[in-house]
Structure 1
Amino acid sequence: MARNEIITTSGTHNVLAIGTVIKGDICAEEDFRIDGTIEGDITCKGKIIIGAQSSITGNIECTNIEMMGKVTGNICCTNNIILRASANLNGEIKSQTIEIEPGAIFSGTCSMLTE
């Protein structure tokens, strides 16, 4: 197990496949992997993984998030945000912790949440 890997307790998750486009807001109780395109806000009580081919325009609220794709919007994350090398984020971040790999693009502001 990689030291950066975030463990979730959930046994199920949602998947949005490459080539799928959703226009509208999404609320999810479980983990969510996004490889498609979303135009709208996302609220997730679990972990969100944004695949390298994905594109999201909207605000995101979640527990943990791992980004490899493109997001235009604000992210509020109660635990940890990881911006992988292929990530492109244009917006505001609010989180307890943040990891940014070399090569990731982040244009915006960041503020740390306190417990």
Structure 2
Amino acid sequence: MFSDNKKSRGLSSEGLKEQNKIAQGTTITGSIEGKGSFRIEGKVEGTLKTAGKIVVGKTGYIDGEVECENADFEGKFSGKLVVKNMLSLKSTANIEGEVIIGKLSVDPDATFNAKCSMKGGVKTLSDERGRGKTKGEKTA
């Protein structure tokens, strides 16, 4: 009925287009590792690592450590969050802990109580004559 080509057409060889969902009312405790994206509507206590994107819905909650490429939060997070590219916080998001990101987008009314570090994007300031500032003076 299905050829092998049709079955694998929508998936990359590494499974990065796979969608994993943790439904509302579900609690997972421990370590989760994947290559695809995750949608969290339930609760995760522990470690979650993926090369894909993490979306935490309004009912979602993560307590622990997360490492991912991109993340969108509408729900809650507590712990250490490492997002290599873009972290987007919607108005209902509540983030606490330590956050290391590439880029950050925060909607009004989002709660962001975290120690935050942005990787990359540090540029040397130039004075009016076009010369760089002295060594060590940089801006983010």
**TM-score under structure 2 length normalisation:** 0.73
CA distance in 2, matches of 1:62, 1:11: 14
Aligned ranges 1:34-113 → 2 under 5 Å: 34-113=40-119
Task: Tell me the equivalent position of 2:4.
Answer: none
Deviation at 1:56, TM superposition (A): 1.0
Task: Tell me the equivalent position of 1:4.
Answer: none
Aligned Cα root-mean-square deviation (Å): 1.3
Unmatched runs of 5 consecutive residues or more in structure 2: 1-11, 122-140
CA distance in 2, matches of 1:77, 1:55: 17
| Structure of higher CA gyration radius | 2
CA distance in 2, matches of 1:68, 1:28: 21
CA distance in 2, matches of 1:11, 1:109: 31
Which residue identity lines up with residue 47 of structure 1 in the other structure? K
CA distance in 1, matches of 2:91, 2:49: 24
Which runs of 4 or more aligned residues in structure 1 lie more than 4 Å from their structure 2 counterparts after TM superposition?
none
Unmatched runs of 5 consecutive residues or more in structure 1: 1-8
CA distance in 2, matches of 1:106, 1:72: 11
Which residue identity lines up with residue 57 of structure 2 in the other structure? G
Deviation at 1:16, TM superposition (A): 0.6
Kindly, what percent of the aligned residue pairs are identical?
A: 35
Residues 17-71 of structure 1 show CA distances to partners (whole Å, capped at 9, x for unaligned) of: 1111101111111011010011101101100000100111101100000001011
Deviation at 1:92, TM superposition (A): 1.3
CA distance in 2, matches of 1:49, 1:84: 11
Instruction: Name the structure, 1 or 2, with higher relative contact order (CA <8 Å, separation 6+).
Output: 1
**TM-score under structure 1 length normalisation:** 0.88
